[in-house]
Amino acid sequence: MASADLPAPRTPEGRDGLAALLAHPERAVVALDFDGTLAPIVPDPDQARAHPGAAAALSRLAPHLAAVAVVTGRPAGVAVRYGGFAGVPGLDHLVVLGHYGAERWDARSGEVHTPGAHPGVTAVRAELPGFLDRIGAWSGTWIEDKGGRAVAVHTRRTEDPDAAFEALRRPLHELAESHGLMVEPGRYVLELRPPGVDKGVALAAYLREVDAGSVLYGGDDLGDLAAFAAVEDLRKHGTAGLLVASAGTAESPPEVAERADLTVPGPEGVVALLDALADALE
Ligand SMILES: O=P(O)(O)OC[C@H]1O[C@H](O[C@H]2O[C@H](CO)[C@@H](O)[C@H](O)[C@H]2O)[C@H](O)[C@@H](O)[C@@H]1O
């Protein structure tokens, strides 16, 4: 049963995706990015927390669905803590795919499975402060240490975050390449991490694992486009999918909203959508 509060996707594929979720929720997966989608963007990544209604909305929705997952660039354990996802009734089967799918936390076990430190990341973590000094990175450029699987360089707190970001692109690509890493660009952040997995690879594998009949994926940033591509590919092969952009601020990458079937205003809009879906299914 549809709810009056459910927004209508603007594409036929999106409308099919929503219809499939509502018709057969027991086969549907809802997968969401963390920063910018479930959690409002803030200047300090350590201060990011899920929207106050996020865990509650997910916990209302999850019992009706095949699965709920969070797919994030964060270490899985960090997303679990900042999301307040552990021990929430209804979220006892939640899965968090962290580090773009390299790590996995399962609510069932409470454990994180990680491939462990990557030697290239270990080397870059040591080299990066001196490297940024040498290339004259803008004042306010800041290194986020994400453990052994990635290191992120942020420009949000510089005087000109766009210029500081552009100035870093090439040198960081060269540094990453010299250590067998890749650069994942995001909102005023360039992340150096091992290649081989992305949100699309991780999402597609998870959907196969749970034998999903349909999927809703929501994201806000460039790293989410790989997951969008995975859903677009599944749609070509008969699995219905709804792509949701969490957008609406000047810094939201336009590519995300352009590719989405439905755009909602940031984490507030995402939580309202989850609640509307739960209303429709209850
Ligand atoms: O895949 P996500 O869940 O979206 O995580 C991607 C990166 O997000 C974080 O950075 C972003 O959020 C910060 C806190 O709001 C913000 O300050 C920063 O400008 C954004 O780019 C995080 O810090 C990264 O490690 C993640 O890779």
Rounded distance between C-alpha atoms, residue 103 and residue 99, angstroms: 6
Å from CA of 218 to ligand 1 middle: 15
Where along the chain do the CATH 3.40.50.1000 domains lie?
12-114+197-281
Place of tokens 């949100």: 199
pLDDT at residue 73 in the model: 98
Q: Which of 16, 33, 145, 233 is catalytic?
A: 33
144 lines ligand 1 (CB under 6 A): yes
- DSSP assignment letter at 45: G
* Ligand 1 atom with least separation from CA of 44: 17
Q: Is 224 in the pocket of ligand 1 (CB under 6 A)?
A: no
Instruction: Please tell me the distance from the alpha carbon of residue 48 to that of residue 265, in angstroms, as a whole number.
Output: 18
The residue type found at 194 is P
**What pLDDT score does 5 carry?**
83
- The gap from C-alpha 31 to its chain's centroid, in whole angstroms, comes to 9
Q: Name residue, tokens 């989405």.
A: 260
Q: How far apart are CA 220 and CA 186, in angstroms?
A: 10
Residue 58 makes CB contacts below 8 A (sequence gap 6+) with 30, 68, 85, 88, 90, 91, 94, 274
Q: Quote the ligand 1 centre to 280 CA distance (angstroms).
A: 31
Tell how far the Cα of 243 is from the centroid of ligand 1, in angstroms: 20
* Per-residue tokens: 187: 């909102």
Is the beta carbon of 249 within 6 A of some atom in ligand 1? no
* CA pair distance 120, 53, nearest whole angstrom: 38
CA 211/CA 230 separation, integer angstroms: 15
Give 23's contacts (C-beta < 8 A, 6+ positions apart): none
Q: Which CATH number fits domain 119-193: 3.40.640.10, 3.20.20.100, 3.40.50.10860, 3.30.70.1020?
A: 3.30.70.1020
Cα of 5 from ligand 1 centre, angstroms:
30
Q: Where in the chain is the domain with CATH 3.30.70.1020?
A: 119-193
pLDDT for the residue 121: 97
The residue type at 85: F
Asked whether 23 and 60 are in contact (CB, 8 A), the reply is: no
Could you identify the atom of ligand 1 that is nearest to the CA of residue 191? 27
Other beta carbons less than 10 A from residue 3's beta carbon: 14
Q: What is the pLDDT of residue 4?
A: 55
199 lines ligand 1 (CB under 6 A): no
Ligand 1: nearest atom to the Cα of 156: 19
Nearest CA to ligand 1 atom 20: 187
C-alpha 101 to ligand 1 mean position (Å): 15
Report helix, strand or coil for 154: strand
Please give the number of the atom of ligand 1 that sits closest to the Cα of 39.
15
Nearest atom within ligand 1 for CA of residue 100: 1
Would you give per-residue pLDDT tens digits along the chain (282 residues)?
Answer: 345 589 999 999 999 999 999 999 999 999 999 999 999 999 999 999 999 999 999 999 999 999 999 999 999 999 999 999 999 999 999 999 999 999 999 999 999 999 999 999 999 999 999 999 999 999 999 999 999 999 999 999 999 999 999 999 999 999 999 999 999 999 999 999 999 999 999 999 999 999 999 999 999 999 999 999 999 999 999 999 999 999 988 899 999 999 999 999 999 999 999 999 999 999
| C-beta 72 within 6 A of ligand 1 | yes
- The CATH architecture that domain 12-114+197-281 belongs to is 3-Layer(aba) Sandwich (3.40)
Q: How far is the CA of 156 from the centre of ligand 1 (A)?
A: 11
Q: Is there an atom of ligand 1 within 6 Å of 156 CB?
A: yes
Q: In what order do the strands lie in the sheet with 151-154?
A: 142-145, 151-154, 189-193, 182-186
For the chain, report the end-to-end CA distance as a whole number of angstroms.
9
pLDDT computed for residue 248 by the predictor = 84
Active site annotation includes 33: yes
**Ligand 1 pocket residue status of 76, Cβ below 6 Å:** no
Residue 180: Cβ-neighbour burial (10 angstroms; 0-12, 13-18, 19+): middle
For residue 160, give the DSSP letter: S
Burial state string for 28-55 with b = 16 or more CB within 10 A and e = fewer than 16 = bbbbbbbbbbbbbbeeebeebebbebbb
- Residue 81 Cα to chain centre, angstroms: 15
